[in-house]
A and B are shown apart, each in its own frame.
Chain A
Amino acid sequence: MRCVSEDGPVAHERVLVVIPAWNERDALPSVLAEMREALPEVSVVVVDDGSVDGTAAVAESLGVRALRMPFNVGVGGAMRAGFLFAQREGFDYVVQVDADGQHNPADVERLLEVAHAGNDVVVGSRFSGVGDYTVRGPRMWAMRVLSWSVSSIAGTRLRDVTSGFRLSGPRAIELFARAYPPEYLGDTVESLILAHRAGLAIEQVPVAMRSRVAGTPSQNPFKSTLYLARAGLVLALAVLREPPAKDRL
């Protein structure tokens, strides 16, 4: 990927798109084709999170590298493997993109632009005016409370902290390869707090979401309350926690 930098006319940067995928054999081909079309210079790796439907084989048959997790580790665990891979292979930027096609590859350029303006983590936000993505009811309130809390702690206005569309720069890759939280809600809420506490700059970019290929999000008030309670605990503990030591996994 080329860009104009301050100290030179053109700098070559290596961008890696990481796609965590769990049983996404059917959705993957169109997502990968679109990625190649929109971002021909960008490398892609699929992290097959213990799929039983041959997700990794599908990716490889399309010429895309795949990491096979030996068992299901969740999105956070899969992303951590992706960050470690990016670090070992010397990539400058990691972009997390969902395997179900809800993120538009064309938006990656916009995330990169914001990163070049001096940000370490850039979140593609679904509620910032672009597109018609909406959620209603208890789920909406849960997400709003969560966004508000994380924004207050991080000191940045973030409207969509649970977005799975994000870019991480060199400093974030170094941190996340070592300490990306693999637990529940760790990949969304806790990772942002972690980044903020490590002194990284977080910014958001409005993006349009496309409808999910399959599955409907929960609208159950009980589940939303439980979700919020768990998120609250994760949040409170994330704030208390010391940043992870460099010599400890």
Chain B
Amino acid sequence: MNIQWTSLVAAALVLFVTIELVRRRQLREKYAAVWLVVSLLAVVLALFPKVLTTVSTRLGFEVPTNFLFAVAGLILLFVSMQLSLQVGRLEDRSQRLAEEVALLKEKLHRDAD
């Protein structure tokens, strides 16, 4: 099996898993979008490896794989940043919900007495 097949299978697998997770309602569009784009790009690169060589040479990379690693690193940075932001927002919201419940409970108990 050559590298083209290996990368095509890997990219297709990521694409399949993403779609399947969305289909089963485990993954929301918001988070699926970036993985769909990445896996589609990976499929394209696996089918047309020339594109990778051309683009990386144009951008001044001596070795195309270095370009690939740089892009992969940036994407992962972007995704983890997005997730960190969302977690912060969720923490704020769950804190607020806990406060709301506490206030409602107090009111319920007061009204019951």
Which residues of A come within 8 Å of B, CB atoms? 70-71, 183-184, 233-234, 237, 240-242, 244, 248
Contacts and interface: CB of A to CB of B under 8 A. Distances in A.
Nearest to B97: A70
B106 interface: no
A237 B32 contact: yes
A183 B29 contact: yes
Interface in B22-62: 22-25, 28-30, 32-33, 36
Contacts of B29: 183, 233-234, 237
Interface residues of B, number: 15
Given A233-B29, A233-B33, A241 B96 contact: no
Contacts of B97: 70
Contact of B19 (A70, A184, A240): A240
A244 B25 contact: yes
A71 B29 CA distance: 22
Contacts of A184: 30
Contact of A241 (B23, B33, B36): B23
A242 B33 contact: no
B22 A241 contact: yes
Contacts of A237: 22, 29, 32
Contacts of A241: 22-23, 25
Interface of B: 19, 22-25, 28-30, 32-33, 36, 93, 96-97, 100
7 contacts: A70-B96, A70-B97, A71-B93, A233-B29, A237-B22, A240-B22, A244-B25
Contacts of A248: 25
Nearest to B101: A70
B96 A71 contact: yes
Given A237-B22, A240-B23, A241-B23, A183 B28 contact: yes
A248 B32 CA distance: 20
A242 B24 contact: yes
A241 B27 CA distance: 10
Contacts of B22: 237, 240-241
B23 A242 contact: yes
B87 to A, nearest CB: 16
A233 B23 CA distance: 13
